[in-house]
Structure 1
Amino acid sequence: MTKNKILLRWTLIVVAIMIPLLYAWYIHYQRNHFSCEAHTRIVDDNYVLDVMLSYQFNGGSGSYETTGEYIPTGKPPVSMSNKIAFDYWRDAKGVIMVANETNELPKKYEAFRSTIPDFYHLRSRGLRVKITPANPSSYIFSYGGAPVFYCSKG
C-alpha cells in the first residue's frame, strides 16, 4: 500500500510539473505557427485598391499572398496579385519580416506602389510590424504604432 501511495504522489508531482511546461510550449508554438486573412480596401483620390491578403507563419519562414484589383479613377480595373516568401523573427519591438522572393503582377509601375513598403515589392527588404492577438481567432497588424489591418485566422 505504501508503494502505491508513493507512486501516486510522484505521478501527481510529475503531472503538476508537465502541465505548465506543455501549456508554455503550446503558447510558443501558436505564436510562431499561424495563418490569417484580411480584406483591405485602400481609397485614394486617384485610385482604389481592393485586395485579399493571406499571411502564413511557420516557425521562422512565412509566405504572403494577395489577389485583388487596382482601380484607377475613370479607368478600367487592373487585376493584381503578389506572392512573397519571407523569413521572420521576433524582437522586443515586434516581428521582422525579410522578403526572400516576390512575384508581383502586373509588373508595370502603378501609383499605389509608392505608398506600400518595399518589403512587398523587392527581395531582401524588411518590414517590422507588431502582431497582436485581438481575440482567439484574429490578429491586429500595426506599423509605426498605428493599426493597419485586422487579420482573421484561416
Structure 2
Amino acid sequence: MKIDSQTVRWGIVILAIAAPILYAAWLHYQRNNFTCESHLTIVEGDSTVDSLMSFSFQHGSGVYDSTGEYSPPGQPTVTISNKINFKYWYEEGRVILVSDETNALPKKDEPFRHYIPDFFYYRDRGISLGIVQVNASGYLFSFGNSPAFYCSKS
C-alpha cells in the first residue's frame, strides 16, 4: 500500500493539533492525581512534634494520613496520628481543602494543637494551601505566603 503526500500532510496536521491537547490533558491529570510524603518536625521551646505525613489527591477527593510523636518537656513521649478525608479544588492559584472526616489521636488537647490549623482536627473546616510542583520528584506546600514543607512523590 502506497501513502500519498496528501495523506502524510493531513497526518502531520492532525498530529500537530492532537499533541498539545494530549499534553494539556496529561498536565491536568498530573495536577489532580498525585501522592506525596513528607517528614515534618515542629519545635516550640523544649517541646517537639515529629511527624510523617502522606497526602493523596485524586480528582477532587483526598486523604491526609500522619503518624508521629509529641515530646513535651519532662514528660513521656505521646504517639500521635491523624487521618483526614477531604475534598479539594483550585481557586486563584491556591488549593482549597475542606475536611470531610478527621480522626486525630490522642483526643486530649495537647499544647502543640494550638499551632496547627482547625482543618486537621475538625470536620468541615477548610485550609488554603499553595502546592507547586518544584521538580520531577516533589511539591512545595506553602501556608499563607510562607513555605511550609516539601512533599516527595511516592
How many residue pairs are counted as aligned between the two chains? Answer: 154
Residue in 1 aligned with 2:4?
Answer: 4
Aligned-pair CA distance for 1:93: 3.8
Aligned 1:10-25 pairs, distance under 5 A: 10-25=10-25
**Unpaired runs of at least 5, structure 2:** none
CA RMSD of aligned residues (A): 1.4
Amino acid across the alignment from 2:25? W
Report the equivalent of 1:31.
31
Secondary structure of the residue aligned to 2:4 is helix
Please say if 1:137 is aligned against 2:114: no
The aligned runs of 1:38-53 (5 Å cut-off) are 38-53=38-53
Greater shift in the superposed pair: 111-120 or 46-55: 46-55
The answer for the alignment partner of 2:76 in structure 1 is 76
Moved runs in structure 1, 4+ residues, more than 2 A? none
The aligned runs of 1:89-104 (5 Å cut-off) are 89-104=89-104
Measured against aligned partners, the alpha-carbon deviations of 1:23-54 in whole angstroms (never above 9, x if no partner) come to: 01001110110011000000111411000010
Provide the C-alpha distance between the structure 1 equivalents of 2:49 and 2:78, rounded to a whole number of angstroms.
Answer: 10
TM-score w.r.t. the length of structure 1 is: 0.96
State how far apart, in whole Å, the 2-side matches of 1:3 and 1:67 are.
61
Q: Normalised by the size of structure 2, how large is the TM-score?
A: 0.96
Identity %: 49
